[in-house]
Amino acid sequence: MNGSTRPRALVTGASSGIGIELARQLVRDGHDLVLSARRAAPMHALAAELEAHDADSVVIPVDLSKPGAASELAAAVETRGLTIDVLVNNAGLGGIGRFDQLDPGRVSEMLYVNVVALTELTRLLLPGMVARRRGKVMLVASTAGFQPGPRMAVYFATKAYVLSLGEALAFEVRGTGVTVTTLCPGATATEFFKVAGSNTALQPTMSAAQVAHIGYRALKAGRRVAITGFLNRILAVGGRYGPHSITLPATAALMSRR
């Protein structure tokens, strides 16, 4: 530990993509960090980079797809005597394919990372923020959370859960000094689709840095939901209110091309 009085943020999924860029945004705005993901090497490289900003970055490798991982991470933070002022639940997994043909292990991993670990970690750290009457929480959902998603049924469903949870928590903690922001990116230039099993190139609408910039501004402002970009807002509204007789086959066709 150092003697810093800077606020400290915990970022999950901090080994690539949006997680790395959110960490950079936080450090530029004066935060120290706890970085957590499965892969340690990229996080150590990021921590070394961020030393130029006088940031103290603690690396805690944890596999959030395993039962009990959120408790393990929270305990590691507590053991180090660290206070988390900002929680960024960014870790997420996807899987492409028809539900009955998906690897059951992959389905379980998606549920643990996208739903269970996110919920448990928030439950473990939020009470301390409320007691201190300050803090911010970000849940990273997706524009996928606004509609059902054939050929990515589990992923879309988990992001709908994250969006619902985030909006409810934001309402519950009003007046406590704590805010909850749910970030909903669209297609982003990360390794997400490659890891999810895509065989074709992703056509992103935004870079990870752009998404992180929008998301961090929303987090600072205490906004309840942030959808990244005008086109994504249109898609989200269409997904939520459009007739499923149209949105279901359109989404299935899009996922079939990946």
Nearest CA among 230, 169, 241, 180 for reference residue 205: 230
161 is catalytic: no
What is residue 14's DSSP assignment? T
Cα→Cα distances 27→103, 145, 153, Å: 38, 29, 35
H/E element, 24: helix 17-28
> Are 47 and 15 a contacting pair, CB within 8 Å?
no
Cα dihedral 122, 125, 130, 136 sign: negative
Q: What one-letter code names the amino acid at 217?
A: R
Q: Looking at 112, 155, 161, 216, which residue is catalytic?
A: 155
Tokens of 247: 């949105």
Name the one residue in this structure whose structure tokens are 């929270």. 74
Separation between Cα atoms, residue 195 and residue 63, nearest integer Å: 15
> Are 89 and 140 a contacting pair, CB within 8 Å?
yes
Tokens of 35: 């970085």
Tokens of 124: 């473990």
Tokens of 79: 């053991």
Name the one residue in this structure whose structure tokens are 């961090």. 216
Beta-carbon contacts of 175 under 8 Å, excluding residues fewer than 6 positions away, are none
How big is the chain, counted in residues?
Answer: 258
What is residue 127's DSSP assignment? H
- Active site amino acids: 155
